[in-house]
Structures are given as C-alpha cells and as structure tokens.
Amino acid sequence: KQESLTEKILSRVKSKDPFFSLEFFPPRTEQGAANLIGRFDRMRQGGPLFVDITWHPAGDPGGDKITSSTKIAGTVLNYCSLDTMLHMTCVKQTEETIKKNLEKTKNLGIRNILALRGDADENWGITEGGFNYGVDLVRFIKKEYGDYFSICVAGYPNGHPDSTSYQEDLLHLKEKIDAGGEFVITQLFFTADEFLTFVKDCREIGITCPIIPGIFPIQTNRSLVQLTKLSKLTIPEEIQKVIEPIKDNDAAIRKYGIDLATDMCRSLLNSGEVHGLHMYTLNLEAATIQILKNLGLWCQDVAKTLPWKTSGNPERRENETVRPIFWTDRPKSYIHRTQKWDEFPNGRWGDSASPAFGELRDYHLFFLRCRTSKDRLRAQWGKELTSETDVWKVFQNFITGAVNENGVKVLETPWNDDGLSQETNLMSKKLSQYNARGVLTINSQPNVNAVPSTHPIFGWGDKGGYISQKAYLEFFINKRYAEALKVVLPKYHPRVNYHMINRCGAIDHTNADRSRPNAVWGIFAGKEIIQPTVVDPISFIVWKDEAFGLWTERWASLYAADSNSRKVIDDIADNYYLVNLVDNDYPSESVLWNVLDEMIAESQDSVVK
C-alpha cells in the first residue's frame, strides 16, 4: 500500500525529522506555465515533502487549459516527480461540478486536497443543502471517496476574517477535523508567538492532528501589502517601521524578509511544536531557497531511488521500475508517451512489444515545449548554417561549454532537456573530439564497476549497494561513417552490441536479439540484481522517430523555409543514421572509443581508395 501524504507527515512528526512544503499558484499565460515547470524541476532538488497548487481563476479551474489549477497540479505530479496537493474551493458550486473536479483530480493521480470554502463576495449567502463552508467539502469528499484523498484544511492563527470571534473560528476548525480533515496548514502570520498560541489553543479543544505553519517571506512591499489586504491582516508596527524607509528598495526588503523569516522559523522549529514549514513562494524561488538553506532544510543532493527521476504519481511510482535508456535526457517526453499504459515494465523487462507508445504530436504542451526563445536558440545553434560542419561545431560547443561565435554558450540541444548531464561531462574531452569530426552524440554513459550506491554522480538506490553499468554511446553519423562502421563492428562481436537505423527505417541493422533488451545498469544490495535501465531494440524504433523529428521540429523550424540553414538541417535529418553502441564488458576499459577511431580511419581509407 502506498504511503499517503498524511502518513508521511505523521511519520516525520513522530521521528522529529523536519520537512518543508512549497505553495505555488497557476500563472496566467502558457509561457508563464512553461517557466514555472522549470522552477518545479529546480526546487525539487531541495527535497520538499510536497507542493501544493492554489485554486485560481487563471485558465478555467478544473478545466483542460494548460494554465488551469488541475492541469498544473497534474503536471507537477506526473512530470516533475513531486507529491502534489491541489487546493479546491466549494462556494457557489454545485455537487455535480465538485464531483467532476474531484474525478478529474483523481484521474490525474492526485491524492491530496486542501479543502476550502473559497472567497465569498457581498452577494454570497447560505444555500440550503449546498456547499457553504469548507467543512461541507470535507464531508462530501469523505462520503464519496473514503480514504482515497488525504484531506488538508486551513487554519487561521489570527482568526478567519469572516468569523465573529477567534474562539468561534477554533470551533469551526475542530468541526473540519472531526469531519475528516487530517492535517492543517495555516494562513500567514508575523511572529512565532502567534502561531504557538494558536497551536496551544487548538490542542486544548481536542485538535490533535499536525498543524503546519504557513510561512510568508516578505519579498517586496507591494506583495506584502497585497497579501495582507487579501488576508485582512495587520502588519505589526515593528515591521512597518523597518520597511517604510526601504519600501522602494526591493533588494533591501528581500534581505530583511529572508532574515525575519529565518529567525521566526528557527524559533518555531526550536519550540518542539513544529516539525514542518509550508512556504508561500509567490512563484519565486531565491528567497525561499535561501531561508531553507539558512535553516539546514534544503537538501541539494536528494538520494535517487532509481537512476532516473521517479514519478510522483503513486500508481506509476509503485509499478514502474524499468525504462529504456533512449529518453534519459527527455524524461517528460517518455512520461507523456507512456501515460496511457495500463502497466509499466516492472522487475525484469518483459515483453516490450506489448505496450504502445503514444504519438508525440503535442509539441504545444508546455511541459514538453522549449522554454528558450527562438532568438536565443538561434544564437546558440547558429544564426546561419552554411554546411554540416557548422552543426558539428554546435554539438562540440555543447559538450565543452565553450562560447560560440555569437558570444553565447550552447546550454541545450533538442535532445537534452536539462543541459549536459554529470555523467556525460566526465567524458567531455573525448566526446568533444568525436563531435568535432561529425560523430554527433546525444546520449552517453561511462562504464562503472561496483561503485558505492551513494556515489555523488552514479549513485542511486539503498545505501550499502554497489552500482555497475555498461558504457553506452548514442549518436548521429553521416552515410560514409555508417558504411565504415559496418566494416569495423564485426571485429568487436559479441562484446559490442549495436543498432543502426535511418529516418525512414529502410536501413535497420543490429547484432542484438531484437526481442530481448540489454540491461545496462545493475545494483547489488543484498537482493537480486536490479536492472532498471535497458537498451531495447523495439523501443529504439519508437525513439528514432522522435530523435529524427527533433531535427526538424526544434532546429530546422528556427529558419525560413527557403533558407540554406533549414536545408542543412533537413539534409542531416534525411541522410544521417542514428546509432547506439553498448560495451558489454563493463569491468574492463571501454572499447567504444576504439570502435569510433577505427570507424573514422576506415572512412578515410575508403575515400582514398
């Protein structure tokens, strides 16, 4: 049984192991959504227990627009590997609408709801038998879904602005907990004493569940005024006195806000009553990260359970233990193309022909689309291309991190979502030499023999294990190199497995068993060998369509249809070959460099002849 979010929180409270969570709101534009996904990826590195997404009118809440709350929350869970909670309001909504929103949430894999009443304007009034308060939504969720969702409710250390008294508000909170609320996240407050008094008062009336303080780092005077206005809170005089002289100096206010929040959080954590912090990020990252680093809560090196980033979706996280290596640098694409699979490869890779990969036609999806502008991409990949050697230079600059003729670094390619990986960087000197000569590498890993599972680059899995992996290279080459490679490779059989294919699939050569994948990872940790990453001939056929398609979809499309630059890229896509090589003898020094050297030499000999 998958551990619920409530169980995770209770476990951390019991062990007194402090944690943090992060709150974001849906942006109003598609570009804002694409940028936010990048922020989720970066902030995941710090190890939040969960993130939550507010219910916001931007982009049809509950709908299918990519800026909707549910769409953002589903993306965070499934594509950014973060346990996710979705805010949901109920005021002025029918039972049918709420049921529809809950079903959509469930279908996305989200299992955590922050149940709220929502903002009520002056025209709001009690609806007999309807959803008038947060407790009505809590009761409905419990009645319809039992324990499927972990239900969070909101608490107000200074009382809800619409309550007649602080004591009345405490009783309303108790009612929400009794109805099925499992933990509390509070509205913002300004002093540790406010929160600790609130917790004490909650305990005295029988509220025993975890109560997590909502922390608002002051980042600008404008955001402070807006948020306190919405929450109907009064800014303490001592804070106003500090901010007034510096209200137009954002940097000074941010520094003050970081120091203030750090001191308050430290007091809360030292009180013995607080074991988790909920950070209101305002969709920004610098201040929140700095506060968490100040407190020692930001874990830059989160241990990986598998060599690839596991999904936040409980069903997928539990059942998926194997992936093909080809999507290593495009994990969101792989998740998108396998999202409708009823079952995922688990344990030893089974019949890889049975699941059907989805088509990658949705390039408009913000979690797959490049966040870099076309002008910036042209500056990296060439404002004009005169020949294939210009393209070779782009690949070489990406590997080396060198500044190109436009004065910029090549930080990405169409085949790498997140820049150069640490493993590839270890081989950058060698790879640079081959890319400069037209061996255009898009995926690689060095061989490793029994390094500790805690290794900072290769490590994953439980402590006390050992990692072994085979050397792997994947690259595009022209026809001359491909013909030379066919001559060279038989000398290395059966040590080196290869697969070579062109765009249309008419050329498709391999010396591997087409029905059986080749495991390129293994770990030994007091259990049978785990093989979570494989080179699978059948999946390679699927991947080649995407790999070749990226030449035209991402690169050629930067240039005018009748330009020489586009012709250069189109010619490469049409005439180059995609190749992968696996050196099966991982304890020995890799021979893949020898293969490439002999391929280049053979191609030169053939030209001379």
pLDDT at 30: 81
**pLDDT grade for 528, boundaries at 50, 70 and 90:** low
- Measured between alpha carbons, how far is residue 215 from residues 23, 71, 187 in Å? 10, 25, 8
Indicate whether 473 pLDDT > 60. yes
Q: Between 64 and 244, where is the model more confident?
A: 244
pLDDT at 587: 93
167 phi and psi angles, rounded to 5 deg: -65, -40
**pLDDT grade for 126, boundaries at 50, 70 and 90:** low
b/e sequence 558-586, b meaning 16+ C-beta within 10 Å: bbeeeeebbebbbbbbeebbbbbbbbeeb
pLDDT at 121: 59
Per the CB < 8 A criterion, the answer to whether 43 and 286 are in contact is: no
**pLDDT grade for 235, boundaries at 50, 70 and 90:** confident
**pLDDT grade for 128, boundaries at 50, 70 and 90:** low
**pLDDT grade for 58, boundaries at 50, 70 and 90:** very low
What is the rounded average pLDDT of the residues 585-603?
96
What is the rounded average pLDDT of the residues 443-468?
91
Q: For the chain, what are the domain ranges?
A: 5-221+254-294, 314-608
What is the rounded average pLDDT of the residues 165-194?
95
Q: What is the CA radius of gyration of the chain?
A: 27
What is the rounded average pLDDT of the residues 373-377?
93
Please tell me the number of Cα atoms within 13 Å of 503 on its side-chain side: 16
What is the rounded average pLDDT of the residues 126-130?
67
pTM of the prediction? 0.88
What is the rounded average pLDDT of the residues 327-343?
89
Q: Between 139 and 35, where is the model more confident?
A: 139
| Summary count for the chain: helices (H), strands (E) | 21, 20
Indicate whether 303 pLDDT > 80. no
- Active site amino acids: 23
pLDDT at 225: 85
**pLDDT grade for 33, boundaries at 50, 70 and 90:** confident
pLDDT at 598: 97
Per the CB < 8 A criterion, the answer to whether 470 and 438 are in contact is: no
pLDDT tens digits, one per residue of 545-569? 999 999 999 999 999 999 999 999 9
Indicate whether 608 pLDDT > 60. no
- Quick one: which of 513, 518, 489, 490 has its CA closest to 579? 489
- Cα angle value 519/464/523 (rounded, 5°): 5
b/e sequence 3-32, b meaning 16+ C-beta within 10 Å: ebbbeebbebbeeeebbbbbbbbbbeebee
Q: Between 263 and 607, where is the model more confident?
A: 263
Share of the chain above pLDDT 90, in %: 67
pLDDT at 57: 47
What is the rounded average pLDDT of the residues 453-478?
92
Classify the C-alpha dihedral 530-533-537-541 as positive or negative: positive
In this structure, of 226-235, 287-296, 404-413, the range with the lowest mean pLDDT score is 226-235
Indicate whether 59 pLDDT > 50. no
**CA 239 to mean position of chain CA atoms:** 36
349 phi and psi angles, rounded to 5 deg: -55, 125
Averaged pLDDT of the chain: 90
CATH of 5-221+254-294, one of 3.10.580.10, 1.10.10.10, 3.20.20.220, 3.40.50.2300: 3.20.20.220
In this structure, of 268-277, 282-291, 367-376, 437-446, the range with the lowest mean pLDDT score is 367-376
Distance CA 7, CA 11 (A): 6
